[in-house]
Amino acid sequence: MLDQLQSDTARTGVPDGQFFDLIVIGAGIAGLNALYSASQYLPKGARALLLDQKDAPGGMWNVAYDYVRLHQPHPMFTVGDMKWDWSRPKHYLAARDEVQSHLEKCLVPMATHFNLTRGFGHTVSSCTEVQTSDGPRARVICHPNDDPQSTATIMAAQVIEAEGFNVQQPDPLTLSSTSLVSIGPASLRKTLADHPGAAVFVIGGGKTAMDTIIEVVDRDPARPVSAIVGSGTDFFDRDENLPIGVERWTRGRPLSRIFQEQAMLFDGDNEDVVAAYFRTNYATERNSSNRQFLYGVLSRAELAKVRSGLETCLIDYLEDISDTANGPLMSLRSGETLAVPEGSIIVNCTGMLFRSDNLPPPKPCLSTHGRILSVNTRDALHFLSSVGGFFLPHLHYRGMLKDQGFYTIDLDALFRKSRTAWVAATSTQAYLTQALAVKTLPLMLLDRCGLDFDRWYPFPRRMAAVVKMKTGATREIPHCQKVLDRVAQRFDVHCGPLAASDRSD
């Protein structure tokens, strides 16, 4: 059946002038979860169109660097509650091609539910809400990536935009020196093979950097590796908080309880206190001087391998590398300099989120008449686009999206103002969203969200967390909303109640 799906995908275009019950724009983890959730409400055989610029489902997993793995155990990364069709241990961290293959297979049962047209390799140029003789509808204009003149205009009763974070791979750094090899992570394996023995300098301190250091060490333990890690990054301790086997009964805490602690500690002004609390209680490296956390997950064994493999680790920022009479010289933001061997490999691992110089255009999460739902970074229901893709359609089709107390955040703008406040605010919003979902949605439906980290724990521990959430809702929900109002006031960004906004021409 998968072979048939791939064949259909390759030859199916987008019919101009057609009407669909549903159009989903984006076939990554967010879009596939949105399609899954909508399938619970639309009848079998409903006409649906799935659009994506890439040539196959999977989103960023089609283009990510080839040594990337999931942060979390693979069962926690799926579409709806679809299981992986293998017998790997639950704690196994799936690799890039394994993730892409799983997401592609997840489309198969949904394609049997819908009368599904696949528009892969297509760019959407506009998505607007329009008035028709049948009432408000959504209009989408798109074209094949390689043929902008061949536009198709299509109408739908409902559109779900699921661009998510639109993850971009880091490009090679532009450096003054001509004596070095500057690359992005996607070129690492080939570059290592082409330059045996060359020193490697990893620029960045996040999960991409950790993956890169481990990859180099695994391939050539004798190769000198150095890292320039900015202000340092904290990671969620996988060993303690996602324990294996019977220890799932006795160790760790369900993520909902960790978010609850963070949310109730945060008052809208004390994000540094919240960061220190997280570091002390939940980070892989408890007593570090790291100054940022972006929801990365790292085990103690991975941290030990990184430490053992590094020749030099500097808490600083790279400014440039220039050629001098004595060889390449690295200039750092602090004013310090560092000699770099000729022929060294410089790997840009400075992150994949919010990389554009300018803010992307704002998009409301919900259009005026509800014909367009949008999972995006400018008006986000959750910092995980996958979770937003799952819950937005459920809440919308049940008429529970507006006036229920949900808050959206301009993640892009807040990230640029303060990364520390961004984490405190998004963890508060995550808890608020989950508490409101528990309050408004059936527990049976919530249990279909395979993305929920609480599912890692045995059922009694999960239910205990749900009971605590329900009993604390009267006090905790207003606190979260008040805190997010304060964030909006302090940073002059959208961080407030979910509201419909105009998406017309």
138 SS3 class = strand
Q: How confident is the model at residue 1, as a pLDDT? A: 39
What is the tally of helices (H) and strands (E) in the chain? 14, 23
Confirm if 390 and 37 have CB atoms less than 8 A apart: yes
Average pLDDT over residues 189-211: 96
Q: Residue-wise over 235-247: b if at least 16 C-beta within 10 A, else e?
A: bbbbbbbbbeeee
pLDDT tens digit sequence for 385-443: 999 999 999 999 999 999 999 999 999 999 999 999 999 999 999 999 999 999 999 98
Name the pTM for this structure: 0.94
Pairwise CA distance, residues 349 & 67, whole Å: 13
CATH number, domain 181-254+272-348: 3.50.50.60
Q: How confident is the model at residue 294, as a pLDDT? A: 86
Average pLDDT over residues 8-18: 67
Q: What pLDDT band is residue 49 in, cutting at 50, 70 and 90?
A: very high
Q: Is 61 a residue whose pLDDT tops 80?
A: yes
Express as a percent the part of the chain with pLDDT over 70: 97
pLDDT tens digit sequence for 127-140: 999 999 999 999 99
Element containing residue 465 per DSSP (H, E): helix 459-491
Q: Is 288 a residue whose pLDDT tops 90?
A: no
Q: Which residue has the higher pLDDT, 359 or 22?
A: 22
* Phi/psi-derived region of residue 143, left when phi > 0, alpha when psi is between -120 and 50, beta in every other case: beta
Q: How confident is the model at residue 12, as a pLDDT? A: 54
Q: Is 3 a residue whose pLDDT tops 50?
A: no
- Following DSSP, what letter does each residue of 156-218 receive, concatenated? ES-EEE--TT---PPPPP--S-SSSEEE-GGGHHHHHHHSTT--EEEE--SHHHHHHHHHHHH
